[in-house]
Amino acid sequence: MHPFLLFVILLIAALSPNSAGSEQPNAGMMLQEMSTAIRSLNYEFNYIQADEQDIDSLRYRHVILNGKTFAQLLRMDQLRVEVRQNNDQISYFQSDLTPFTLLGTHIVDAFPSVVFSDFSMLSQYYHYIFVGKMRIADRICQIIRVLPKENNRYSYFIWLDEVTKLPMQINLLNLNGQTLEQFKVISLNMDDNLTSFVQNLKAPVPPLMKLPEEETVNFDWFPKWLPAGFVDIPPNEHQLMHKKKFLASRFYTDGLFSFLITVSPVNKKNNTESHFQQSRRTIQTQVRDHIQMTVVGEIPLSTAKRIADNLILKINK
């Protein structure tokens, strides 16, 4: 959707009779209610997920039964992809791949990560703004803007079902207000018969995938500048051997967006720089003094470049 058209629609919603003259809802509390609803309710979504390159049609079912979480994500078109959750076991099935299982609390592919965020903590770095109301999938929704306090990361528009607090539409916007990705519910089902699919999820799960072992290399490096709120997640440094070359990496997040910094020695003599961006994902690579550093993640290109420009590093010999 064109950003100006989106602005006009939201302005009309904000000035509607239902919102005029009434006390504005607590947008932060509404977002916390969304995060609770997405984990605790029984529901089925048919929805689309679109970015600049592609659009997918998916179905997601979620049930809490006897204190355990069961869920299923199914791609409805083209190559069949299914993800099943049996409490803390997340299993992936795809016709051209060997099935495998990972440990986790939810299916990360099902929703934009914003729905699982700690909005109380994020309030240090983001504004939560109630915009108005609008109808999505024949349900009245409350619209909330999640806006960074500093102009170095993306923002969100979130439409919440007024009754259930489930997310009905989520738009990820770039620094210019253009939509990079969209999650949009076509139909919501909260029928009591939803638990019938759980029996299929209780079958034996595929083998648990083992993560690669880490190698040790003595890197001395750190980012001199990071956007406010981004911290590295322990273990603070991952060190791997890739194609007979050491690769050190650190993972950073502010609780909403994340990125990875990797450094490794290279044989290139000249300093070079390159970048790539698709939807929310940015890759910024620089080579300086025989060391290649790459910033990969959910941040604008200008932010990734500033991080790379301010990376202090060397290899201790």
Position 242 scores a pLDDT of 47
Residue 20 has pLDDT above 50, yes or no: no
Decide if 3-201 and 219-315 have a common fold: no
| CA angle centred on 263, ends 271 and 103, rounded to 5° | 150
Options 3.30.230.10, 3.30.470.20, 3.40.50.620, 3.30.200.100; CATH of 219-315: 3.30.200.100
Residue 230 has pLDDT above 70, yes or no: yes
> Does residue 286 surpass a pLDDT of 70?
yes
Q: Is the predicted pLDDT of residue 243 greater than 50, yes or no? A: no
pTM score of the predicted model: 0.85
To the nearest whole number, what is the mean pLDDT of the chain? Answer: 86
Distance CA 205, CA 209 (A): 11
- pLDDT tens track for 49-100: 999 889 999 999 999 999 999 999 999 998 899 999 999 999 999 988 899 9
- Please return the burial class of 83, using the count of CB atoms within 10 Å of its CB with bins 0-12, 13-18 and 19+: buried
pLDDT at 6: 56
Does residue 254 contact residue 125 with C-beta atoms inside 8 Å? Answer: yes
Q: Which residues contact 55 (CB under 8 A, 6 or more apart)?
A: 48, 49
pLDDT at residue number 171: 98
pLDDT at 214: 53
C-alpha distance from residue 1 to each of 5, 7, 173 (Å): 7, 10, 11
In eight-state DSSP terms, residue 91 is E
Top CATH class, 3-201 = mainly beta
Query: What do you get for the CA distance between the two ends of the chain, in Å?
Result: 53
Express as a percent the part of the chain with pLDDT over 70. Answer: 84
Q: Tell me the pLDDT band of 145, cut-offs 50, 70 and 90.
A: very high
Residues of the chain with pLDDT > 90, as a percent, come to 64
**Which whole-number Å values give the CA distances from 197 to 21, 57, 62, 63, 70, in the listed order?**
46, 20, 10, 9, 9
User: What is the model's pLDDT at position 222?
Assistant: 85
Domain range summary for the chain, segments of one domain joined by +? 3-201, 219-315
- Give every CB contact of residue 182 below 8 A, 6+ residues apart in sequence: 48, 49, 50, 51, 169, 170, 171, 172
pLDDT for res 192: 80
Tokens of 17: 């009779």
pLDDT in the model for residue 177: 94
7's enclosing H/E stretch is helix 3-14
Q: Is the pLDDT of residue 209 over 50?
A: yes
Res 211 pLDDT > 70 = no
Nearest Cα residue to 143 out of 163, 120, 122, 167 = 167
